Structure 1
Amino acid sequence: MKPESSQWMKVLAWALWDWGTSAFSAVVTTFVFARYLVSDFFVDPAILEAWQAAGGAAAAPGPAREAYEAALAGLTSRLGWALALGGFTVAVLAPVVGQRTDAGGRRKLWLGINTGVVIAAMFAMFFIQGQPRFFLAGIVLLTLANVFYEMANVNYNAMLLQISTPETMGRISGFGWGMGYLGGIVVLGLALVGFILGEGPYWFGVTRENGLNIRAVVLLAAVWSAVFAIPVFLAVPENQASDPEAPAGLLDSYRRLFRRIADLYHKARMTFYFLLASAVYRDGLAGVFAFGGILASAVFGLSDTQMLLFAMASNLVAGLGVFLSGFLDDWIGPKRVIVGSLVGLVLTGLVLFAWHDRGPAVFWVAGLAMTLFVGPAQASSRSFLGHLAPEGAEGEIFGLYATTGRAVSFLTPATFALMVGLFGGAWGGILGIVAVLATGLVLLL
């Protein structure tokens, strides 16, 4: 096999990990399992029965409706606090994990371990029946999977430097993101056709009882992730240890981490400020996904089926965006791609805010336009950091990248909530997301 062919086999194997594990982000955290945990299945049966007796969704304001809405808010709050705790764990551990895998030459090993825990947690989610007594176990599994998924991404992102050159990094980074989006389209399509559309029974005789069809979707995501994660471990070699004699103690790792941050400020000011700016705008990007479903249904009136169809369409548009931006990245540079993408996101977000009362068509057009810019901003951020990362410290820098993103993870939710209260409707939250994205853009310039 020619060297070029061998190298591109490594690239494809690396990108297939994103293709496979996109099932976790699409199915588990965004559109299916997380929403399942804050659904009627987990509301106290007495409260649910009183609400349904009062007329359900058409119920007039009163004690039954207030109790039902308070129950849903309580589920959402507990889920949010659990994920916040997971985010704090990532913030503390991510840079040290990256540093230690760089030093010891165990990047692929830890990618395998972290991926394995995520997949095991997804398999376990199948047993979270739609009953209130399973809620705690559900949020524990979701939080655990989120933490290890972030840890896996530290190793996966750092691996980009093993399979690319400075000339090809943008294209390869974009290819990886694009494969992730396309993988999400396929797995969401299978989930929609196999287990969501209609009233059932679905594939393999699955029904809706106790949320079985939702749990089957998560099982599908687990199998999907497991199968497509395998190639990277066969095709991409382990990284070379950058400092095999480095102290192995946790405290020693943190001492080195703080020295690295100080060194970045004094010797690599561009990297330091990029980490700061990207933390802000990446939280805005996360808000696009975290609150997109809420806005789609509460403001623009999309049904559950329409939301999954929109999810598939948005993944397609975002995937096309990152494939095209990969070439732009190598041509004009990643920073220009990021700036252009953020400008596009701010403008389309303002359109959604201004026309929030004009129905689903506005969300479809402006929402898809936003997704066109999200992928390039993500992919070029990874590529830009890859250009800035010192040789032998890639995992540590990508760990810091994960940490800085988590360090301000409260920013978009807080701004979203503030604007909802200020404007008196969920549509005001759109302006909150736009404000965070615009702040990150200004910091980047």
Structure 2
Amino acid sequence: MCPMTEFPPAAAIPPAQTARTPGTPWQITAWSLWDWGGASFNAVMTTFIFTALYLTGAAFGGADHASAVLGLTMSIAGLAIALFAPVAGQRTDHSGRRKLWLGINTLIVALLTGACYFVQPHESYLLLGCMLIAAGHVFIEIAGVNYNAMLLQISTKHTIGKISGFGWAAGYLGGIVALLMVYFGLIRPDVGVFGITSADGMSYRAVAVFSALWIIVFSIPVMFAIPESPRNPNMPRIGFFQAYAELWRTIVRLSRTSRHTLYFLIASAVFRDGLAAIFTFGAVIAVGSFGFKTGDVLIFAIAGNVVAAVGAMSAGFFDDKVGPKAVIVTSLAGLVVCGGTMFFLHGKSAFWIFGLLLTLFVGPAQSSARTFIGRLAPAGQEGELFGLYATTGRAVSFLAPAMFTVFITAFGTQRWGILGIVLVLVLGLALLLPVKAPIHAAAER
């Protein structure tokens, strides 16, 4: 491994760009509400309700066929995110229209979500449904690039950890509230709100309309509370294809002047894939290896999101005190210990204890990974760096699912898949340890 260079000197950035003013309580709340609203797409539409219970159901040709089509469209979506996210972030840096593009991309996500209402319970509508969900993932990821970069408009080096943790916590809690409302208002009762029933898949199609409105309503405050980002006068406007050439020059420049940034992007891509696998396969493992029923899974999902929110919120304070790397290392070590212990235990009680401990460590790792990038981003290039962050995360998104599958196939039982995920977390931790930590507020006092 090549020796890491120091951080770029502060003098390299014009003084007018280095100063950041703290956001007001309303600005911080409004920014966090975007995550609260967007969680309905991830929690309701993708993870627990629309995709899991409706789109991959018997009406669409069976779980195996529907899952294969969904997997294909999601793979294409992942490729699109990897290709477009860094350029999208870069172009908003050059144009000074971060808030505008956050609003446009969020509106597109809401429209795609609402369009899922037209996915009727028949196999001929499967491709439409999968394409809408996959396209929604593309645009919510690109919107997230601008959203993450906006964090630097409302935080200082003394508060970025707390505010990032608050945003992650809002996302977890917003997903819970939206999930409870649709489950008890539309899915569980025979006759839901407004007399909606399950006939013709209407209860699930109504969930799509609810989620679209949820996204729109909670994305409005940030549009009014936070001013548009100023355009960097040192960055000329560039065309779409020119942006890729500029992106390559940025990567080359980072490799020469700030290699620790590239190292972190690689390390975070690996451990973030392991974090995603915990949520992706957690419910599957609970049912297949620990005897959970459908109702148990829902209750655990709610409890797990609450614990993850608490973890993200509390870790934000430690992030500002000791820096993001210490929080991430501690969290990954906790995840490895809890996941390894869970492998050897049996029964619902064991999963409840160590499963909740896993979620406690997931939130801090996610939140501090974002602040790590935020502390590294030069003024005026926040969007570009967060775009690279999104791209590298997608580049290895196959790793944890592959290790989960390989371990199950090799040893014959689902329980071994736990070790596959743990191994990915260990690899991510090993890659992170040599990375130079960014300077945090407490270190300068």
Residue 365 of structure 1 corresponds to 353
CA contact (8 A) 1:131 1:210 kept: no
Return the offset for 1:230.
0.3
CA contact (8 A) 2:173 2:306 kept: yes
Distance 2:187 2:64 in 1: 25
In terms of mean alpha carbon deviation, does 88-97 or 75-84 score higher? 75-84
Matched, 1:30 2:21: no
1:329 corresponds to which of 319, 333, 340? 319
Deviations 1:21-58 (A, max 9, x none): 11111111211122122122212xxxxxxxxxxxxxxx
Deviations 1:247-277 (A, max 9, x none): 4222211111011111111101111110010
Alignment of 1:273-284 (within 5 A): 273-284=263-274
The 1:6/1:336 distance shift into structure 2, 3 A limit, reads closer
The 1:296/1:220 distance shift into structure 2, 3 A limit, reads farther
Matched, 1:375 2:385: no
Residue 436 of structure 2 corresponds to none
CA contact (8 A) 1:31 1:293 kept: no
CA contact (8 A) 1:188 1:308 kept: no
Alignment of 1:135-150 (within 5 A): 135-150=126-141
The 1:338/1:209 distance shift into structure 2, 3 A limit, reads same
Return the offset for 1:243.
4.3
Instruction: Find runs of 4+ consecutive structure 1 residues off by over 3 angstroms.
Output: none
Deviations 1:210-231 (A, max 9, x none): 3322222232222111111100
Residue 286 of structure 1 corresponds to 276
Deviations 1:155-178 (A, max 9, x none): 000000011001100000001001
Residue 343 of structure 2 corresponds to 353
Residue 153 of structure 1 corresponds to 144
DSSP 3-state at the match of 2:414: coil
Residue 166 of structure 1 corresponds to 157
> Which one-letter code corresponds to 1:42 in the other structure?
F
CA contact (8 A) 2:308 2:363 kept: yes
Aligned length: 413
DSSP 3-state at the match of 1:159: helix
Return the offset for 1:6.
6.6
Return the offset for 1:244.
7.0
CA contact (8 A) 2:114 2:209 kept: yes
Return the offset for 1:150.
0.4
In terms of mean alpha carbon deviation, does 403-412 or 420-429 score higher? 420-429
Residue 373 of structure 2 corresponds to 385
Q: What TM-score do you get using the length of structure 2 for normalisation?
A: 0.90
The 1:77/1:243 distance shift into structure 2, 3 A limit, reads farther
What is the percentage of aligned positions where both structures have the same residue?
50
Matched, 1:249 2:239: yes
Residue 42 of structure 1 corresponds to 60
Residue 413 of structure 1 corresponds to 401
Deviations 1:317-365 (A, max 9, x none): 011111100101111111000001111111111122222xx23322222
The 1:403/1:108 distance shift into structure 2, 3 A limit, reads same
Provide the aligned C-alpha RMSD in A.
1.7
Distance 2:348 2:109 in 1: 35
CA contact (8 A) 1:242 1:392 kept: yes
CA contact (8 A) 1:28 1:218 kept: yes
In terms of mean alpha carbon deviation, does 420-429 or 267-276 score higher? 420-429
CA contact (8 A) 1:279 1:408 kept: yes
Distance 2:223 2:284 in 1: 37
> Which one-letter code corresponds to 1:18 in the other structure?
D
Distance 1:195 1:298 in 2: 27
Residue 261 of structure 1 corresponds to 251
CA contact (8 A) 2:89 2:387 kept: yes
CA contact (8 A) 1:20 1:224 kept: yes
Q: What TM-score do you get using the length of structure 1 for normalisation?
A: 0.90
Distance 1:218 1:350 in 2: 38
DSSP 3-state at the match of 1:239: coil
> Which one-letter code corresponds to 1:239 in the other structure?
S
The 1:388/1:151 distance shift into structure 2, 3 A limit, reads same
Residue 385 of structure 2 corresponds to 397
Matched, 1:130 2:147: no
Distance 2:69 2:233 in 1: 42
Distance 1:360 1:9 in 2: 42
Please list every run of 5 or more consecutive structure 2 residues that lacks an aligned counterpart in the other structure. 1-20, 434-445
DSSP 3-state at the match of 2:284: helix
Residue 220 of structure 1 corresponds to 210
Residue 51 of structure 1 corresponds to none
Return the offset for 1:96.
0.5
DSSP 3-state at the match of 1:270: helix
Residue 59 of structure 1 corresponds to none
Matched, 1:297 2:287: yes
Return the offset for 1:245.
5.6
Please list every run of 5 or more consecutive structure 1 residues that lacks an aligned counterpart in the other structure. 44-70
DSSP 3-state at the match of 1:242: coil
Deviations 1:109-159 (A, max 9, x none): 110111001100111112212221111100000111000010000000000
CA contact (8 A) 1:415 1:433 kept: yes
Distance 1:128 1:362 in 2: 40
Distance 1:189 1:204 in 2: 17
Distance 1:170 1:301 in 2: 38
Return the offset for 1:419.
0.9
DSSP 3-state at the match of 2:290: coil
CA contact (8 A) 2:274 2:421 kept: yes
> Which one-letter code corresponds to 2:421 in the other structure?
I
Distance 1:316 1:242 in 2: 39
2:38 corresponds to which of 21, 34, 42? 21
